[in-house]
Amino acid sequence: MPKVTDEHRTARRSQIVEAARRCVIAQGFHKTTMADVIKESGLSAGAVYSYFKSKEELVAAIADEALGSVDQVFRAILASAEPVTPVNALRTALEYVVTAAEGPEGDVTRVGVQAWAEALHNEAIYATASSKYALLRGYFVDVADRAKADGTIAADADSQQVAQVLFGLIPGFVLQRLILGDVTPAGYTAGLAALIR
């Protein structure tokens, strides 16, 4: 019984998180009520509360997912054998962002932006954001190191600083995409390439 129950529990949990995410994408964390999530998930109030003991916990779960989703892909792609220049790394990251944003789950980047705001006043989400972003930015340190190694950038450059910039370009892209709506991975990458040379 344990295994079946476990799968069942996992499926249920996902069902709730996905429903909640849909609500949050559509209305944001605060306009989304537990009643909305309950209705959207098709479960009962009691059921939802047996998986998440408060709205805060559920919100944290959604935020975690949204903030962390990039990670897996990053690891795979940036750790590949291909020549990973800063520009390529950025493009890959942005392309993933757009793919995720246009996926069938709805635009996860909207949840991400919500999470940024939430992190400022919510310990748990702050902690998640800090650690996930530190991790993510770490990949760009690798990228910077490689770039120094192959002479793409100066050997005495500070890889941390370069990583800050490369990583920092991503929120800027996400925000412009959502609020100004006129950026593309290709164009944005071209902009960076133009600056670099």
Partner DNA sequence: TATGAATGAGGATTCATTCAT
Partner DNA sequence: CATGAATGAATCCTCATTCAT
Residue numbers of the site for its own copies (CB under 8 A)?
27-31, 86, 110, 113-114, 116-121, 126, 129-130, 133-134, 137, 153-154, 157-158, 160-173, 175-176, 178-180, 182-183, 187-188, 190-192, 194-197
Smallest distance from the beta carbon of 1 to its own copies, in angstroms?
A: 13
Residue closer to its own copies, measured from CB, 2 or 81: 2
Residue closer to its own copies, measured from CB, 19 or 162: 162
Residue 28 CA from chain centroid, whole number: 16
Residue closer to its own copies, measured from CB, 15 or 85: 85
Contact residues: DNA, CB under 7 A: 5, 8, 12, 31-35, 43-47, 49-50, 53-56
State the Cα angle at 24 between 20 and 29, rounded to 5°. 105
Smallest distance from the beta carbon of 107 to its own copies, in angstroms?
A: 9
Helix axes 123-149, 86-101, angle to 10 degrees: 140
Residue closer to DNA, measured from CB, 57 or 158: 57
Please give the sequence-ordered ranges of beta strands (E in DSSP) within the chain, or none if there are none: none
User: Which does residue 44 bind out of DNA, its own copies, none, counting CB within 5 to 8 angstroms by kind?
Assistant: DNA
**What are phi and psi for residue 3, nearest 5 degrees?**
-65, -50
DSSP for 9-59 reads HHHHHHHHHHHHHHHHHHHHHHH--HHHHHHHHTS-HHHHHHH-SSHHHHH
| Residue appearing with tokens 């995409």 | 177
User: Which does residue 73 bind out of DNA, its own copies, none, counting CB within 5 to 8 angstroms by kind?
Assistant: none
